[in-house]
Amino acid sequence: MILNNRRPRRNRKSEVIRAMVAETTLSANDFIYPLFIIEGENKKEEIVSMPGIYRYSLDTLLVEVGESMDLGIRTFCLFPSIPEAKKDKMASESWNHEGVYLKAIREIKAKYPEACVMTDVAMDPYSSDGHDGIVENGEILNDETLEVLGKMSLAQAQAGADIIGPSDMMDGRVGYIRDLLDENGFTGVSIMSYTAKYASAFYGPFRDALDSAPKFGDKKTYQMNPANVKEALIEAELDYMEGADFMMVKPALAYLDIIRVLKDTYAIPITAYNVSGEYAMIKAAAEKGWLEGDKAMMEMLLSIKRAGADAILTYFAKEAAKLLQK
């Protein structure tokens, strides 16, 4: 016997009412679409561990950007797959203005000036060591790496980037990049810091996509310990004070609590990276028939938004935007 007249099910009795009282909603404006770039022409190479995700040459990349914009996706984060022959210890290809990455920024902004282009700032895609910083005697050098990250960031801003995305996790890099951009007249270029980037097992397919795995060791001396929450608050306070415009949590699904903590603590946008391993899990389970792929995808994205993410970097961006249009 129900002892009061409060019946929550009345607000669930129809699709119209459920939609009317929904506390969290998704739209294409919430998505940042990561895209992988390769050299050459007329290339579109599927990544085996990420079904439906491709490496694009510049011509096919522009087609993908156009199709995505038609779906309402307007922000794109670019990642380069660089031939091994162009990698070196100082990641010098990262500031080569004739290289494929900076060309891609220029070409997207030329063809789609209304698009927002976000970049990746880290040495690993360009480094012969596969680490995010300069390596000397097996140690990752923090302060020496900042100069390389600065060159990379400035070159990206000069190419037309709207948002710089330092993903390297070196101490002090947000302030160093902010000062360098401002000194060179790029005060309007934003920084989306990978603030709480954890040393996660969910990055494997991404490293396959870029062939950027470390040549030795791991990244635990600079990426965060998955056990820690307070450490994320320390990183966030530093990035906030150094001038970050957005703060990111990566990965997303296993760190929803970190998204919420940062959202409740800071009054700037909090973003989340729905990483390659999270994407691959859904795809693999759906392929086996163990999950309904579309429903699991949308539930995952909704959970990230509900946790407090203002924007989500996700490989599901295009698929989700298509569903949202229906």
Catalytic residues: 197, 250
**Which residue bears the tokens 């938004």?**
305
In DSSP terms, which residues pair with 55 in a beta bridge?
36, 45
Residue 269 CA to residue 231 CA, distance in Å, equals 19
**CA–CA separation, 308 and 322 (whole Å):** 23
- The sign of the dihedral angle between the CA atoms of 313, 314, 315, 316 is negative
Element at 141 (helix H, strand E): strand 139-141
Tokens of 22: 């929904």
Among left, alpha and beta (phi > 0; psi -120 to 50; other), residue 160 is left
| Exposure class string for 85-108: b at 16+ Cβ within 10 A, else e | ebbeebbbbbbeeebbbbbbbbbb
DSSP secondary structure letter of residue 121: B
Separation CA 202–CA 181 (nearest Å): 32
Q: Which of 57, 61, 75, 71 is nearest to 313 (CA)?
A: 75
Rg (CA), the chain: 20
- DSSP code for 46: E
Q: Which two tokens stand for residue 306?
A: 């509900």
Judge contact between 160 and 118, C-beta under 8 A.
Answer: no
**DSSP annotation string for 29-44:** GGEEEEEEE-SSSS-E
Nearest to 132 by CA among 48, 224, 201: 224
